[in-house]
Structure 1
């Protein structure tokens, strides 16, 4: 009887996890709807939260992102980071896609759709503004949300941190020249305050907290307890943080979505296509390099996801708050999470492609 009860509990537990995973897209859609409704019918809430925004970095959103990425930060130690530096193949793959391919495919795809496919619906000036916004997104690899996608694919946390850190350094030197080249304009400057604050808020603070908590728990109760019991306590925090983040993001942008749904759709189409192109380039490249799944999945995610805080900040400074370029960067924020969740699901479903690969 006891054995049967144990088996039943295991089945129920596994079923619960399966139901959550199976209907995650539904929870995401509901969170987006709740966010839009919140922004429309209780505008005082997003207005209040928007007061806590510095250099285009939302502190309430940052706190929720900490909630999402804290479980991964707990798993990082300096020894694993040093070990990751000895495996350059994945780093080279990610860097190549992010800086030699992604900005230029974004330019080509957005120009084709806005100037050719959607020509009957857009004036030439507005089409060029949308292209500019897409370029600003395409030249800005992600900083924070990559940790979420890596966690959802059971990626190597130390390697993901290293990939993101390298991108942040490269952004300082290559973002402005690439944007200036593709936009055909001069005097493009990177908003250093936005960049540095984002790095500090989204990487330094949660990493420091993770290291402090890790050392304290290991010292008090040992490594075995930390790895088998303590870390598992945070299994649900990533998804809870993700859903709450969506509510906040969509409450901020609900007005734009409702007032301009057709143009939101037009902008979303090339951005979505670009995401799939870059993901499969990275994912296919990782398989060709015979990288293990724990490195392959995050490597593909790093290039696909965007540093939208930076893109929005640059767009506002170059083109203004109400420009088509800024609207395009905002749409990038709106479509990224649902698309990245779909790519996470694709990656987890194809994990067997990388079976037997070691690094």
Structure 2
């Protein structure tokens, strides 16, 4: 294998028969696994272990939820809040904020902002409402929780998935910030519209105010964003940019994955007993959630690939990195906000809160699987780079 192949990119000039052979597919799958770091390889089984251990703790340690609820912040257990912030801190330290002004000067960013707004604020809510009604017509309380998840657009874990799938972190950060601002404005009216008006639920106690949404965004994006910016430029100032990018970030980066595993463990332990007690309804809630994540992710990924294949587009604006950004931005949700609002309005032991909690429990394994799908498709499809069609060799 020559040096260009080792770097993971080669000109798409192989014959179709060679690409389609069984041995070649097996080799590419093995090569994909080899390209991943040790932490990336172990992430999927580690997540499964964290989920199982969490449920066991939640079921056999009945006081665990009470212990977690001893200290709460904005309606959410402090251990969960800590995990979510720690999970985001290293990812937001990695973002090259100094490059953002240059990105905004490109015409491509405005196209991608428009695509993201379309998926997040038109397609996403309608798809989730449709799936919730189609699959949970007889479970209005669980349906409400599912809809609340659908209205809460991505601001946090999308950065984790984008990083794992080798997407463009800078573009992803821009879209996350824009979605966060829109979320402050739109989450309350969207949820009231789709729960009370479209859903026809007579729940006069349901009141979602802009202040609660703004505080949630501030906590789960504002705090780690500020920490990431301060950390990045403090290390840069005290050492050098080379030290920051080549030494500090590689050492600090795994903290995000540890934060992810910790958060999953705590969340499953927090709701473990409730999940086991309502296992039948929980499995029913899995259905709209799984369908939603797969449909939205596939729509975003497929649209960018299709646009990149069109002869009348700037192909460099529709490459693999941007397909990853749009796919995970469209297919992720701000479950922190949905859980916090559901607990505040319906109570921690409510069906609505349980359904909202199931969101990340489904999202995590599904989107981990989709990161593997993205990495696989990076090598199997022809992508555009600066106007030239290339095929990633995985």
Counterpart contact for 2:152–2:338, Cα < 8 Å: yes
2:352 aligned with 1:328, yes or no? no
Distance 1:312 1:20 in 2: 29
Shift of 1:277: 0.5
1:257 to 262, 275, 280: 275
Shift of 1:32: 0.8
Counterpart contact for 1:150–1:160, Cα < 8 Å: yes
Shift of 1:227: 1.5
Could you say which residue in structure 2 is the equivalent of 1:65?
A: 84
Could you say which residue in structure 2 is the equivalent of 1:130?
A: 142
Shift of 1:43: 4.0
Q: Which runs of 5+ in 2 are unaligned?
A: 1-32, 309-317, 388-394
CA RMSD of aligned residues (A): 2.6
Could you say which residue in structure 2 is the equivalent of 1:181?
A: 193
Length-normalised TM-score, structure 2: 0.77
Alignment CA distance shift 1:80-1:266 (3 Å): same
Shift of 1:68: 2.6
Distance 1:65 1:358 in 2: 37
2:75 aligned with 1:56, yes or no? yes
Could you say which residue in structure 1 is the equivalent of 2:30?
A: none
> What whole-Å deviation, never above 9, does each CA across 1:122-150 have from its counterpart, x for those lacking one?
xx3xx222222221111111222122112
2:221 aligned with 1:206, yes or no? no
Counterpart contact for 1:84–1:162, Cα < 8 Å: no
Could you say which residue in structure 2 is the equivalent of 1:4?
A: none
Q: Which runs of 5+ in 1 are unaligned?
A: 1-13, 116-123
> What whole-Å deviation, never above 9, does each CA across 1:305-347 have from its counterpart, x for those lacking one?
1122322343345555444333321211321111121112211
Counterpart contact for 2:192–2:208, Cα < 8 Å: no
Could you say which residue in structure 2 is the equivalent of 1:119?
A: none
2:300 aligned with 1:282, yes or no? yes
Q: Hey, which of these two has a bigger chunk of helix by percent? A: 1
2:353 aligned with 1:345, yes or no? no
2:88 aligned with 1:76, yes or no? no
Distance 1:145 1:225 in 2: 26
Once structures 1 and 2 are overlaid, which stretch shifts more, 91-100 or 330-339? Answer: 330-339
Alignment of 1:1-359 (within 5 A): 20-86=39-105, 87-115=109-137, 124=138, 127-183=139-195, 184=197, 189-290=207-308, 291-352=318-379, 353=381, 355-358=383-386
Shift of 1:18: 5.7
Once structures 1 and 2 are overlaid, which stretch shifts more, 273-282 or 127-136? Answer: 127-136
Distance 1:213 1:322 in 2: 38
SS at match of 2:385: coil
Length-normalised TM-score, structure 1: 0.84
Distance 2:347 2:234 in 1: 47
Counterpart contact for 1:35–1:254, Cα < 8 Å: yes
Shift of 1:81: 2.1
Counterpart contact for 1:90–1:296, Cα < 8 Å: no
> What whole-Å deviation, never above 9, does each CA across 1:278-324 have from its counterpart, x for those lacking one?
11111112223332333321221122111223223433455554443
Could you say which residue in structure 1 is the equivalent of 2:19?
A: none
Could you say which residue in structure 2 is the equivalent of 1:120?
A: none
Distance 2:275 2:323 in 1: 34
